[in-house]
Amino acid sequence: MAKHRIAWLPGDGIGMDVLNAAKIVLDALGFDAEYVPGDVGWELWCKEGNPLPDRTIEMLRKTDCCLFGAITSKPRDEAARELAPELRDKGFVYFSPIVRLRQLFNLHTNMRPCKAFKGNPLNLRDDIDIVVFRENTEGLYSGIEFHPVPADIMRLFAEHEPKARRFIDVPLQDIAVTVRLFTRNACRSIVTQAFEYAKKHNRPNVTVVEKPNVLRETGGLLVNEARKIARDYPGIELWETNIDAMCMWLVKNPQIYSVLCAGNMFGDIISDLSAQLVGGLGFASSANIGDDYALFEPTHGSAPKYVGMNKVNPMAALLSAKLMLEYLKEDEMAQVLENAVGRVIAEGKVRTYDMGGSASTTDVADEVARFCR
């Protein structure tokens, strides 16, 4: 029997290409695993009206963790138009399977390293080494949304919050509401994860990215909990920065930042921004971690225009596999993999199109694998 059982969800578009690349490298490392394939993604939505079938969820429950490729996400109405004709108008509503997986398995911590590898021509600077900790299950992603807003909810808003009264005469079908819900537990958890990481890896500061001057309740809760938790970590500075200013500072002085910590939506934004500082989404790996399950995915999307071309940069998927190895306590393999990635980037002989080269996805995987044997 293999040592590890890995759920294998390539998903949409180039997901298969990049997961195959990861497999080439994992095999070269001698990673002892059984891979269990599962259905997820756009095709499932169109054919079955459910992008994340129950059979896939059941399968995941029987594995140690999941390697995930990429997913196509479209807004609700656009999704409804692509549904198989016999499924239309039957009440199927599209939701993002990756967001659902994070919530279903309570993968509360999304960790996204953004490190400038030496010699990457796409680095904004070569001294950037940022790790984003993004709360992964609530905030604006809680899924509590209304359009039109039910009359009793609007009435309650006005009753409890005078500022809601100026909307009371707006027709309900002309109001859309998305609830930004933060729990103290999730705030404490994401901040604690960020500080624990900083402590373990000797990082000097943690920056909490919020907007408490305007989002006083949600932003205020996160920042206040961060201040309390920071007291338990003398020697690690807590920096507080507003999301808008953070976008500016990350472009201006990215090298001074180390660990970033944010709620779900702001974490989504700063993780793309941070990724671009070190080569773009082709290098952006991520770990979605919960108390008893984890899912590893490149941060990029399904890149439909490159489907079947074996063309995209697999580095993000390879680095996600590295995060998976760490989660499974295969630390030595994780280190060998990261070193191999670093070496291939530095040598610069095998590069995909985004790095100015003409190598294929598999060429890059093979080259990384060569240094993993």
- Member of 210, 225, 268, 363 binding ligand IPM (CB under 6 A): 268
Positive or negative torsion for Cα 212, 216, 219, 222: positive
User: Does 142 interact with ligand IPM (rule: CB under 6 A)?
Assistant: no
Q: How far apart, in whole angstroms, are the C-alpha atoms of residue 94 and residue 89?
A: 12
Q: How far apart, in whole angstroms, are the C-alpha atoms of residue 220 and residue 213?
A: 8
- Member of 56, 63, 73, 120 binding ligand IPM (CB under 6 A): 73
Instruction: Name every residue whose Cβ is closer than 8 Å to that of residue 123 and which is 6 or more positions away in sequence.
Output: 116, 117, 277, 278, 279
Cβ atoms of 131 and 197 closer than 8 Å: yes
Q: Which of residues 257-316 bind Mg ion (CB under 5 A)?
A: 268
- Member of 120, 193, 258, 299 binding ligand IPM (CB under 6 A): 299
* Among the residue ranges 31-39, 96-104, 145-153, 323-331, the one whose residues contact ligand IPM (CB under 6 A): 96-104
User: Does 111 interact with ligand IPM (rule: CB under 6 A)?
Assistant: no
Q: How far apart, in whole angstroms, are the C-alpha atoms of residue 192 and residue 307?
A: 39
Give, in order, the Cα–Cα distances in Å from 220 to each of 170, 188, 230, 238, 369. 29, 13, 15, 15, 47
Cβ-based nearer residue to ligand IPM, 274 or 299? 299
**Binding partner at 73 among ligand IPM, Mg ion, none, C-beta below 5 to 8 Å by kind:** ligand IPM
* Backbone φ, ψ for residue 130 (5° rounding): -115, 140
- Member of 96, 106, 178, 362 binding ligand IPM (CB under 6 A): 96
Question: Per-residue contact track with Mg ion, 103 to 132, x per CB under 5 A?
Answer: ------------------------------
User: Does 12 interact with Mg ion (rule: CB under 5 A)?
Assistant: no
Q: How far apart, in whole angstroms, are the C-alpha atoms of residue 320 and residue 297?
A: 6
- Member of 16, 25, 33, 99 binding ligand IPM (CB under 6 A): 99
Smallest distance, ligand IPM to C-beta of residue 361, A: 20
Strand partners, 19: none
**Binding partner at 137 among Mg ion, ligand IPM, none, C-beta below 5 to 8 Å by kind:** none
User: Does 303 interact with ligand IPM (rule: CB under 6 A)?
Assistant: no
User: Does 138 interact with ligand IPM (rule: CB under 6 A)?
Assistant: no
The closest of 254, 181, 262 to 223, measured between CA atoms, is 262
Per CB under 6 A, residues contacting ligand IPM are 71, 73, 96, 98-99, 268, 299
